[in-house]
Amino acid sequence: SQQGEEDPQALSIQEGENATMNCSYKTSINNLQWYRQNSGRGLVHLILIRSNEREKHSGRLRVTLDTSKKSSSLLITASRAADTASYFCATDNAGNMLTFGGGTRLMVKP
């Protein structure tokens, strides 16, 4: 079963716009991670936010975590065509055994 649910399932934007993806989960967590996947290939780790953190930045990425609402968001600013991919949130509540959501498919049009 999948703990996380991403919203929206698919997102299409123009290059230069911002993209926001949301993730909800069900149980308590140690941390929440965001991954990117291009065309059904391997997952690339983007950012990890711990349960005692509320916001984290990495380059054009901004992640927020609200443990009271059991939700997280990933913001990609100034999107590029190369950002086109599927994005997954994953929760870790026991020793790096991740529970993934269903993903958001992002398309950035040039």
Q: How far is the CB of 42 from another protein (least distance, A)?
A: 4
In this structure, what DSSP letter does residue 26 have? Answer: S
Using the rule CB under 8 A, is 35 a contact of another protein? Answer: yes
Alpha-carbon separation of residue 32 from 4, 14, 37, 78 (angstroms):
10, 28, 17, 23
Closer to another protein by Cβ: residue 60 or 102: 102
Choices 11-19, 61-69, 72-80, 96-104 (CB under 8 A): range interacting with another protein? 96-104
| 79 in Cβ contact with 15 (< 8 Å) | yes
- Map the footprint of another protein across residues 43-82, applying CB under 8 A: 43-45, 48, 50
**Residues binding another protein (CB under 8 A):** 1-2, 4, 30-31, 33, 35, 40-45, 48, 50, 88, 90, 92, 94-103
